[in-house]
Structure 1
Amino acid sequence: MLIERALNKDDIALLATIDRTERVHECYRVEDGKLVLYPDYHDMRGWPEGESEQDAIALLACLERGGWLWGVFDGARLVAAVVVDNRPVHNQHLLLRQLKFLHVSHGARGRGLGGRLFALACEHGVLAGVDGLYVSATESRNTVDFYLGQGCLMLQSPDPELYAQEPHDIHLYRPFREKGL
């Protein structure tokens, strides 16, 4: 039985237990303001070295400044999580909040958890009074196609600070007003 709940400081370390296994066959890049799909194979097993430790530090800081963290547990095991930072991101005349983290464990995929968590993140943003979510998406086709399917749009001009952190990511946003949320 799956249980959803807010994540707290003690749960931060559990985020590294999410199984990110994925075989990537295609990725996107942005050329002349448009998405271009190209073949690129990656056999992702676990977290890249040092990433889960860096994420833990960043997500703890996010929590301490009032960010929103939500998780899905299968028993005691965290199988999916989403994080929305509370720092404002001003872009394209919109006030946005960054979707800082959204992962679903390999064994828990295909159950709609990603869509559910993204919808909850959008609801959180609406309640916070912002215009949308800023999404810095890994360039894999599955990831970008997921966000596009959730109503995300390309940013014409990514936030300079967030772009510097993830220059290979596809920088998107999910507007709230256009979707009637």
Structure 2
Amino acid sequence: MLVERDLNESDIPLLALIDRTELIDECYRLEHGELVLYAAHHDMRGWPEGEAEQDALELHGCWLRGGWLHGVFAGPTLLAAAVVDNRVIHNQGLRMHQLKFLHVSHSGRGHGLGGRLLALACAHGVTLGAQALYISATESRNTVDFYLHHGCRLLKQPDSELYHREPNDIHLYRLLP
């Protein structure tokens, strides 16, 4: 049985235990405002060195600012999580909040958890007065296609700070009702 709940400060280290295993054969890059698919080979097992620790620091800061952290548990194991930051980003004439984190463990994929968490993140964004969520997505085809399938669109001009942090990411936004 799966249990959903908001995460607290002591849950933040659990985010690093999400199993990111994935074989990536295709990625996107942005060229002249268009997505271009290219062949790639990445055998993702775990987190790249130092990324989980850096994420934990950033997500702790997000939590301290009043960010929203929500998880799905299978027993004591965190299976999936989403995080929406409290900081406002003004982009394309819209008031946005960043979807800082959305991951589903390998064993939990294919059951709608990602879509469920994205919908909850959108609902939370509405409570914050956001007009859109800002998403800096890894360039893997599965990730970008997931967001496009769920109504996300390419940003014409990414936020300069977020682009500087992740220049290879595909920067998207999801309009909120």
- For residues 121-172 of structure 1, give each alpha carbon's deviation from its aligned partner in whole angstroms, at most 9, with x where no partner exists: 0000111111010000000000000000110000000000000000000000
Identity of aligned residues (%): 67
Aligned residue runs from structure 1 range 113-132, under 5 A: 113-132=113-132
Provide the rounded CA distance (Å) in 2 between the counterparts of 1:12 and 1:129: 25
Q: Which amino acid is the alignment partner of residue 32 of structure 2?
A: D
Q: Report the Cα distance in structure 2 between the residues aligned to 1:30 and 1:139, rounded to whole angstroms.
A: 9
SS at match of 2:28: strand
What is the letter of the counterpart of residue 136 of structure 1?
A: S
Aligned partners of 1:70 and 1:130: how far apart in 2? Answer: 18
Q: 1:3 offset after TM fit, Å?
A: 0.1
Counterpart for residue 154 of structure 2:
154
Q: Structure 1: 5+ residue runs without aligned partners? A: none
Distance 1:130 1:101 in 2: 17
Residues 15-61 of structure 1 show CA distances to partners (whole Å, capped at 9, x for unaligned) of 01100000000000000000000001100000000000000000000
- Partner residue in 2 for 1:100: 100
> 1:110: which partner in 2?
110
In the other structure, the counterpart of 2:73 is 73
1:135-174, aligned counterparts within 5 Å?
135-174=135-174
Q: What does residue 86 of structure 1 align with?
A: 86
**Matches of 1:109 and 1:27 in 2, distance apart?**
19
Matched residue, 1:11: 11
* Residue of structure 2 in register with 1:31 after alignment: 31
SS in 1 for 2:78: strand
**Ranges in structure 2 where 5+ consecutive residues have no aligned partner:** none
Q: Please, what TM-score do these two structures have when normalized by structure 1? A: 0.97
RMSD of aligned C-alpha atoms? 0.4
TM-score for the superposition, normalised by structure 2: 0.99
Secondary structure of 2:164's counterpart equals: helix
Q: Which residue of 1 aligns with 2:58?
A: 58
Q: Which runs of 4+ in 1 moved over 4 A?
A: none
1:113 positional shift: 0.2
Q: What is the CA–CA distance in structure 1 between the aligned matches of 2:71 and 2:158, rounded to whole Å?
A: 28
Instruction: Report the Cα distance in structure 2 between the residues aligned to 1:167 and 1:118, rounded to whole angstroms.
Output: 23
Q: Give the partner amino acid of 1:159.
A: D
Question: What is the rounded CA distance, in whole Å, between the counterparts of 1:10 and 1:127 in structure 2?
Answer: 24
